[in-house]
Every structure is written in C-alpha cells, then in structure tokens.
Structure 1
Amino acid sequence: MKKFLTALSLSITGIALPVSAQTDFQADSVFIRKIYDTALGEGKAYEWLRHLTKQVGPRLSGSAGAAKAVVYTKSVMEGERFDNVFLQNVMVPHWVRGAKEKAQIIVGKQKTEVAIAALGGSIATPKGGIRAKVIEVKSFQQLRDLGSENVKGKIVFFNRPMDPTKINTFEAYAGAVEQRASGASEAAKLGAIGSITRSMTTRLDDFPHTGSMRYAAGAPMVPAAAISTNGAELLSKTLQANPEAEFYFEQNCETLPDAASHNVIGELKGKTSPAKYIAIGGHLDSWDFAQGAHDDGSGCVQSIEAVRILKALGYQPNHTLRAVMFMNEENGLKGGIAYADSVKTRKETHVAAIESDHGGFSPRGFGIVGTPAQKAKIQQWTKLFAAYGVHELGPGGGGADIGPLAQQGTVLLGLMPDSQRYFDYHHAANDTFEAVSKRELELGAAAMASMLYLIDKYGL
C-alpha cells in the first residue's frame, strides 16, 4: 500500500516513475543533495579556474599558453588521483595575431581611434594598413543589391546587431554571426578590399569581440576585423552625417603551419561496464587576448570537478567516466574530431557525453540530443533537479566538441546556464576570472555531477 501511495503521489506531481524505482528516487535525492553540498562547501573548481586564467592565461591553439594549459589540467587530474590520466595527440591550426591592431574613423583632417580586433583566420592588411571609403550594410542581400559598382575598392561595414528582443541570447547570436564568419568573402566577391563587422554582443562597450571567420573557395582573401559596439555606433552615425567618411585599419596576423597539441583526458574506471564510457568536458583553448574564463575555462574546471565530486563521495561508477579537455574548439574543432575518431577506431561505446561551453553562469537546464525515448528518460529526472533551479531538460543542443560523437549514436547533453550575460564577455578581453561568480560556477559543476551520476546509474 505504501508503495502504491508513493507512486500515486509522484504521478500526480508529474513524475511518472515505475514502482520499483521509488526507493531509488529517494536515495537519488539524498545523494544529489550531497553532490551540491560538496560543490558549494568543499569545491575546488574556482581555484583551478583562478590558476588557469591568471597563471596560464590566454590559450589559443598552437600557443605556449595552450601547451601550459595541457600540462596544468593533466596535473590537476593526476593530483586528484583519477584512475588514468593521459594525453591524446591532435594537430591544430596555429594563427597568431601579431602586433596590436590600429583603426581610425577619418572625416577630413579629423581622425578618431576606435577599438578593433582581427578575426581569427584573417590575413593581415598590407604594411601600413588600408584606408578607404566605407559601405554600411545590415545583410548579405543588401550588400548584393548594391552591386560591385558601389562596393569595389571600399571597406564593407557589417552592422547588423544581435537581436535584443531574443530572450535566449544564443538565438540572437545565431541570427547575426554569419556576418563575422562569411562577411569578408561576401564583400570580396564584389571587389571590397576589407571587411569590418560589429562585435557579437548586445552590450555597448569598447571591447572588440573576435571569433573565427572563413574564406570561401575561389573568393579573394581580404583582411577582416571586428569593431567594438561603441565603435560601430560611432562609425554608423559618422557615415549618416558624412557619407564620404573613410576608415583606416592595420592588422598583422598570420597563419603558421599546424602545430602539435593534445586533448587531456582523465578517467574513473567503471565497475560493471568499464568498456562503456560517459564523457564530460569543455574546451581548453581560448582566444589569444582573453583569459577565457567563461569561454571555456569554466567548462573545463566544472567537468573535472564533476568527476572529482563523485570520487570524493565514494561513488563507484558503473561506466568509465571521462573528463575531457578538448583542444581547438575556437578555430578548428580538431580536438573534438580527433576524440570522436579515436572512439571510432578503438570501437569504444559512449553512452552519453556532456559539455559545458555556455559560460560559468547559474545553470538552468540541459539541452539533449537523442531519441525521443532517451529524452523522455532524462526528463523523468526533472523533479530531482528542480530544487536547484535547473528546470529545462530537453531544449537546446549538446555542444560543438561532443557533436562528432552523435554519428556513433551517443546521447549528447549541453549544460545550459542563464544566457543573459554570456555575450558580454564572449571572445573579448574582459572574459577574465573576475567575471565569474564562484557560487554560480559551483552550481554548474554540481548540476553536471548530478547528471553524470544519474546517467551512470540508470543508463540511457
């Protein structure tokens, strides 16, 4: 009778669990409370992040900082006595920024300096820079409608802001980022000599936000940079008042031969199904002028912390748990591809993979990529997470680095923190350790550890 009443109660509250699982549900609640107590009372992620950002610093693929980050995170997992810690070789792109960029808005004899940052993968300007008239556009279609007669020999200024009405800022980002990714080639096809793109952020500030761009096959290669949002506002207003205004910019970036690097992997061996894996990770690289605290130092230390917490609580996993520090998410995804290729070559079975790459903010849920049945199973755990402010299980995706695992049938989950402030820091120099809340970081680590525990216990 007691089991029947418990099952009825849970059914009324929307948790449709089989009667045999009721005792486990209560035990899970107790254990998840222990996970949160450990993360918030005895957490280590924040101090790991401090070292990664302050002592190691920027970590663009191929750089000395990236190599130091590999050594540091490997030492952290070894210090926590993970069962196995190893490096996975990966060749990565090696783009360097060179001397700091310069830019000016020029009206007659008046020159106003503005902040820009070369986009990752861009070529340099000729020595001494580029100076030309400017064409402002909000879309590729608007650019094409102008035609080469109006674009040739000029600098194209892409000034479509992220949509501030989008509640999920990642939707706003998705609606604007094509300008950064492909704008240079679209402009060059019509004869432009350079491309300037409004930074991908909803905030007005003087921090240019870099990011990857790519050149289209067959299109001329022209230098491309991001301009801060304050700079973009000033340039737009200047062009409205003075259509003959010019823009000058100089950048000194170059692409070197690919460099040798590594993914960093730490394991806790499973007791009943050690040949089946659950991966949890973030990307170790960051842009070259940023500490990369939110993007993605937070995801790395949260992933290590999630595994450490389970180990500290004496939990014996059924599957082998892997914390993976992926290299080269920012400008190539070579680490994620190399990891998936290794899984396929070694014929490893990955039950699930969890990624944190949306910043160290308060967790709100997990995006899920899987079958309807797999999503439904995870959604049965909604009540276990609700007490900790994690309400959304399902909407969203997994993550870039774990994405290649989808082809092998792996269920993908992405930690989804509150998104309102992420793009204040994304790919910018203000993405520093001080921008991360210790408590919010720890809450994210606890949510990841809880999801790791539930998937390991119940499978998918």
Structure 2
Amino acid sequence: MKKLAYAVAVLLAATTTHAQHEDSVFLRRLADEILVNSQAYENLRHLTKQIGGRLAGSPQMVKAEQWGLGAMKAANAQNAWLQECMVPHWVRGGKDVANAKLAATKGEKASQKSLDIVALGNSVGTMKPMQASVIEINSFEELDQKKDQVKDKIVFYNYKFNPTFVRTFQAYSDAGRFRREGPNRAAKYGAKAIIVRSLSHSTDNNPHTGSTSYSDSTVPKIPAVAIGLKDADWLSNVAKQRNVEVTLHTNGRFLPDTIGHNVIGEIKGSEFPDEYITIGGHLDSWDNCEGAHDDGAGCVQTIEILRAFKAMGYQPKRTIRFVLFANEENGLRGGTKYAEEAKAKGEKHVFALESDAGGFTPRGFGFTVSAAQFQKIQGWQSLLAPYGATELTQGGGGADIGPLNRNLGTPLAGLQPDSQRYFDLHHARNDVFEAVNKRELELGALNMGALIYLVDKYGL
C-alpha cells in the first residue's frame, strides 16, 4: 500500500511538473509575441490622436465604437459585433471659467485672479456668470457646524488627497465623497455652487473632472467644478485673510439619452463553448482629455490579447469575449447592459477581468473570488512572476464587470498596475498619449493574457 501511495505521489508530481513546464513555455511564447509584435501602442495612438475624448453621447463616442469594431476584426476575432445600450448625453457646453475677486485690505487694492477649473461631469451649469463669496470647508462635519454661514455662498471643499495611503486608490476613494456628495450636502444649507479640490496629489495645476451626483431630489441642483491644486492652495490662503468672491460661468446640461454600444469580439471555446470568460476596458473617456490611461490603455490591451492569441494559433477551451464597454464614466450603462443580457440568455460567465487603472507597470491582480478559488490562483504566482504580476490580493475587479458579479456571481479580477502616477493624470487634460509608456502598456497586456490563459486551462 505504501509503495502504491508513493508511486501515485511521484506520478502526480511528475504530471504537475510537466504541466507547469507546458505553461511556462506557452507564457514565454505569449510574451515574445506581445513584446515583439504588439499593436497596442499604435492602436492607442489612433484612438487618442485621431478620435480623442470619447464622452458618452458625443460624436467621438460613435467614431470610437466604429474604430473598436474594426480593430476587433483586424485582430481576427471569430465574431465581432456592437451591443446596443442607451447612454446618458451630458455636454459641457463651452469653456468653464472662474475668476476670483479679492476685497481690498489696508494698504492693498482689490484684485482679480483667473482660476483653473473644470466642471464636474453631470453637473448643471450656471448658464450665465454667477458671483458669490467663498467659504472654505475641509470636512462634511465642518459643513454641518457652519451650516448657518453657507447660504448664498460657494462652498470650497478643500479636502486634500491623503499622502499616507501608499495605494493611491485608497486616497481617491477617501477624497471622492466630496466630488460625489458635495453638491447635495452644500445645497441643503443654501449654497449656490461648489468648488472641489481636484482628486490628485500631483504638483501641477491641472483640474480633474469626474462624475458628481444629485441623489437627493429634495434640494436644488447646484453647479459643481473642480479646481487645480495650486489654485486650490492659493484660494485657501487668501480666503483665510479676506473675503473672496468668485465668478463662475459653466454651461453643463443633459440632452436626451442616446444610443451607444459595447464593442465585443469573441473566440469560441473548443471544449466548453457555453462557458464565457470576459476581458475588457471601457471605451468612453472624459471630454477634457484624450483618455489615454483612462481607459484607452485597457481597451488596446484587450484587443492586443485577442490579436496575440489568434497570431499564436491558441484555441481556448472556453469562449473568450473581448469587450470595450460603453459609458463607464458617467452612467455604467454598458457594463449593466452586458450583464443583463448575459442573465437574460442564461449564459454561464465563469470569470471576468478588467483593466481600468492605467497603462503603468503591472504589479499584480486583485480578485473577488471565493477562498478556495483564491488558493488555486495563488498556485499560479510563480508562472506570472517573471512578467511582473507578483501581488495577488483578495478584493478587486472593475466597475464594468461588477454587474456580472452582482447579477450572476461571476468571479472577478482587476489588473493592478503601479498606481503612484495615475492620479496625476486621471480625468485631467494631461491624460494624453504621450503619458503612456509603450513597454509598460505591453507588459500589462502580457500579464492579463497570461491570467486568462491559466483560468481558461484550469478553470476556477
């Protein structure tokens, strides 16, 4: 009996070693294909320079969808199509302008300064110049304490990105509540508008946009803008010394919902064609930038994995879908539609992976999976490590694939690149093609492709 058990153990070890060798060889081939022949960087150049900002409902959205469909076909997808969904159509409506007027003090004349601002997405506009005194607020608790001083003023939320969070997405989540909830909270006390310190710890003065929300219908909708960090510091300093009046002029408004599309490419599975693995990023971006890191990078990485698999002649066991999602930035309509249709069709979605954290050097993946599934994934770490994805953590995914988990219980993962520079660029005018490094972009695609290969081969 002992001899039999020993023989079985030896056979299993040999089988495991052989499988690991096979996997290592395949991943090396995948690496060579992507690092030598990648089209991701040139695809990103076209998406950013020829199309540019791609806000839902815009003409650039339509151009991007057609480009994406063509890119899927050029990458040799077996099937490629557009999945229709209704998307919101918010427009900026013109240039966002703010000017600060300083009251005269003893020995100094009144003066003015132009402030670098950008309207928050989904915000109502002033439509004509609006002028009011500024009150600085550093927390919602302080807002409640000073509620009697807020009426008819512009609330300036000057909450700084917390520099102690090494993982910068924690700082973004922490500060983001002022962008999301700020207008409603201030309007409750009679504020005329809000200015939010940009969600960034950069050293420049580029203002960062992003969605705001009017979730409380019992209070008026008031205009909301973000301000560059240098101007935020200036405004804070002078507001402590004297009265500051700011004139805002923005034109944001909603038009009726319009038709948008998820762009989908597919390779059919050879053994389990009715089991689906989804990989993707979101095609839309804010209108004040080229959307290179957010999320042009995730889109071209997705297409690159499709291209590389087909170029290598790889035939997956399960059906792999490559998806460029619509309307992540100010509505999440694309991800919601994809999950709703999957549920309606009774599709079995076994895994979904998203890249929406920039095209920087890959560090690892975050997973929303069971404990048993995560233990299995950890067994692949040595295969992924040569290409950079050494940090495998519980908790992660992406906004677009989140509905798959909520509706179908699909296990999720999100690529986690180095995050230190991401919020220098996020939702700001400097998120441009030139800010993306070709090598880092390709390494992200390589690590994503490697994970997809392992999930497809071994399942979860």
Q: TM-score, normalised to structure 2's length?
A: 0.95
Q: 1:100-144 deviations in whole A, cap 9, x for unaligned?
A: 0111121033110011111011101041x1111111111111100
Partner Cα distance (1:181, 1:456) in 2: 38
In the other structure, the counterpart of 2:318 is 319
Partner Cα distance (1:19, 1:133) in 2: 75
1:181 and 2:180 are equivalent in the alignment: yes
Partner Cα distance (2:257, 2:89) in 1: 5
1:79 and 2:79 are equivalent in the alignment: no
- Report how far residue 58 of structure 1 moved: 0.7
In the other structure, the counterpart of 1:124 is 125
In the other structure, the counterpart of 1:336 is 335
In the other structure, the counterpart of 1:111 is 112
More moved, 274-283 vs 33-42:
33-42
More moved, 18-27 vs 220-229:
18-27
Partner Cα distance (1:332, 1:19) in 2: 51
**What residue ranges of structure 1 are gaps of 5+ in the alignment?**
9-16
* SS, match of residue 124 in structure 1: coil
In the other structure, the counterpart of 1:362 is 361
* SS, match of residue 339 in structure 1: helix
**Does the CA contact (< 8 Å) of 2:75 and 2:306 recur in 1?**
no
> Which residue identity is paired with 1:237?
N
* SS, match of residue 175 in structure 2: coil
**Does the CA contact (< 8 Å) of 2:387 and 2:446 recur in 1?**
no
In the other structure, the counterpart of 1:22 is 17
Number of equivalenced pairs: 447
Report runs of 4+ in structure 1 exceeding 6 Å deviation. Answer: none
- Report how far residue 30 of structure 1 moved: 1.1
Q: 1:361-392 deviations in whole A, cap 9, x for unaligned?
A: 00000110011111111111001111122111
In the other structure, the counterpart of 2:381 is 382
In the other structure, the counterpart of 1:12 is none
Partner Cα distance (2:230, 2:255) in 1: 32
In the other structure, the counterpart of 2:170 is 171
Partner Cα distance (2:13, 2:258) in 1: 53
**Does the CA contact (< 8 Å) of 1:360 and 1:444 recur in 2?**
yes
Q: 1:340 to 1:78 in 2, by over 3 A?
A: same
How does 1:103-252 map onto structure 2 within 5 Å? 103-108=98-103, 109-127=110-128, 129-147=129-147, 149-215=148-214, 216-242=216-242, 244-252=243-251
- Report how far residue 217 of structure 1 moved: 2.2
* SS, match of residue 122 in structure 1: coil
Q: 1:422 to 1:18 in 2, by over 3 A?
A: farther
* SS, match of residue 393 in structure 1: strand
How many percent identity over aligned positions?
Answer: 51
1:60 and 2:60 are equivalent in the alignment: no
* SS, match of residue 74 in structure 1: helix
**Does the CA contact (< 8 Å) of 1:157 and 1:196 recur in 2?**
yes
- Report how far residue 19 of structure 1 moved: 5.2
Partner Cα distance (2:97, 2:127) in 1: 13
**What residue ranges of structure 2 are gaps of 5+ in the alignment?**
104-109
1:301 and 2:304 are equivalent in the alignment: no
**Does the CA contact (< 8 Å) of 1:379 and 1:394 recur in 2?**
no
- Report how far residue 18 of structure 1 moved: 5.9
> Which residue identity is paired with 2:404?
L
Q: 1:303-357 deviations in whole A, cap 9, x for unaligned?
A: 1111221111111100011100000000000000000001001111111000000
> Which residue identity is paired with 2:120?
L
Partner Cα distance (1:228, 1:51) in 2: 29
Partner Cα distance (1:451, 1:344) in 2: 25
More moved, 29-38 vs 257-266:
29-38
In the other structure, the counterpart of 1:441 is 441
Q: 1:422-442 deviations in whole A, cap 9, x for unaligned?
A: 001100111000000000000
**Does the CA contact (< 8 Å) of 2:85 and 2:261 recur in 1?**
yes
> Which residue identity is paired with 1:231?
D
In the other structure, the counterpart of 2:106 is none
Partner Cα distance (2:363, 2:447) in 1: 9
Query: Considering only aligned residues, what root-mean-square deviation do their CA atoms show, in Å?
Result: 1.6
Partner Cα distance (1:384, 1:433) in 2: 31
In the other structure, the counterpart of 1:431 is 431
In the other structure, the counterpart of 2:258 is 259
> Which residue identity is paired with 2:221?
M
**Does the CA contact (< 8 Å) of 1:45 and 1:302 recur in 2?**
yes
> Which residue identity is paired with 1:457?
K
- Report how far residue 229 of structure 1 moved: 0.7
In the other structure, the counterpart of 2:286 is 287
**Does the CA contact (< 8 Å) of 2:76 and 2:307 recur in 1?**
no
Q: 1:394-449 deviations in whole A, cap 9, x for unaligned?
A: 24410000000113121101000000000011001110000000000000000011
Q: 1:207-229 deviations in whole A, cap 9, x for unaligned?
A: 11000000122121110000111
Q: 1:222-270 deviations in whole A, cap 9, x for unaligned?
A: 100001111101100111222x111111101110000101000000111
1:420 and 2:415 are equivalent in the alignment: no
Q: 1:96 to 1:126 in 2, by over 3 A?
A: closer
* SS, match of residue 113 in structure 2: strand
Partner Cα distance (2:260, 2:415) in 1: 26
- Report how far residue 161 of structure 1 moved: 0.8
Q: 1:164-208 deviations in whole A, cap 9, x for unaligned?
A: 111000001111000001101100000100000000100121211
In the other structure, the counterpart of 1:49 is 44
Q: TM-score, normalised to structure 1's length?
A: 0.95
Partner Cα distance (1:344, 1:104) in 2: 51
